[in-house]
Amino acid sequence: MPEQTLWNRTRQAVYDEIARTAMELFLTRGFEATTIDDIAKAAGISRRSFFRYFGTKEDIVLGDLAAQGELAARALAERPQSEDPWTALRSAFHAIKDVTYDADTMLKVSKMMYETPSLRARHIEKHLRWQESLVPELRRRLRADPDDPLDVRAEALVACAITCLDVAGEAWTRANGAVPLEDLFDSAAAALRP
């Protein structure tokens, strides 16, 4: 692994500080009531500097979602070849753990996401990017012809798994985290293949 430069470490520290400051504002004031100018002021940076680190406010809340898709893709590639594609995909999704926040904060973030249309839309958009990461390995497992655009099995399986995860996340939020997210995901996934 290449050694991080001082510049990269400094950039990461600033990124983390802006994200922490913004999340504190979002959780106290509300997502929509917090402006980019509010975040920049609280973080001690200019509005222009904010955009060097984040494209949108939504990216602060959902920034790690793309990385979680890559984690799921790596976990899928590491699953035993003997597993059927659906079981391998479900198991790969169990590798996704958000350890950024404690459980109480995660619940607040989740409620904010499901209650804010712009966050919800961005969440769906980022989940759609997971397909780009997951479909190639699933197509390989299904022995699909890579040149056959009409073989949609891999895309369908990934879309179903992502929908199960989203449905489970919404239920977990409604239940105030009382039921483990993994159990809700397994329940949703089992409904598709009893």
Q: What is the pLDDT of residues 16-36, one digit of tens each?
A: 899 999 999 999 999 999 999
Q: Which domain holds residue 12?
A: 6-55
**132 and 38 share a domain?**
no
CA angle 111-112-118, nearest 5°?
130
Q: Looking at the structure, tell me whether residues 21 and 106 fall in a common domain.
A: no
Other CB atoms within 10 Å distance of the CB of residue 145: 10
Domain contains 96: yes
Q: Please indicate, yes or no, if residue 82 is contained in any of the structural domains.
A: yes
Whether residue 80 is found in the same domain as residue 49: no
Confidence of residue 152 (pLDDT cuts 50, 70, 90): very high
Contact indicator for 175, 181 with CB cutoff of 8 Å:
no
* pLDDT tier, 129 (very low <50, low <70, confident <90, very high otherwise): confident
Q: What is the pLDDT of residues 61-98, one digit of tens each?
A: 887 777 788 889 999 999 999 999 999 999 999 888 76
Q: Global pTM? A: 0.83
Q: Which residues contact 92 (CB under 8 A, 6 or more apart)?
A: 72, 73, 75, 76, 79, 134
Residue 60 has pLDDT above 60, yes or no: yes
> How many CB atoms within 10 Å of residue 91?
15
**Among candidates 108, 147, 135, which has minimal Cα distance to 25?**
108
Domain count, the chain: 2
CATH code (residue 33) = 1.10.10.60
Closest CA to 141 of 77, 73, 74, 95: 77
Same structural domain for residues 187 and 154? yes
Does residue 142 sit in the same domain as residue 160?
Answer: yes
pLDDT for the residue numbered 79: 95
pLDDT number for residue 147:
85
Give yes or no: residues 50 and 120 share one domain. Answer: no
Phi-psi region of 177 (alpha: psi -120 to 50; beta: other; left: phi over 0): left
* 156 in the same domain as 108: yes
Please tell me whether residues 67 and 163 are part of one structural domain: yes
pLDDT at 194: 54
Q: For the chain, give the mean pLDDT.
A: 89
Q: Does residue 187 surpass a pLDDT of 60? A: yes
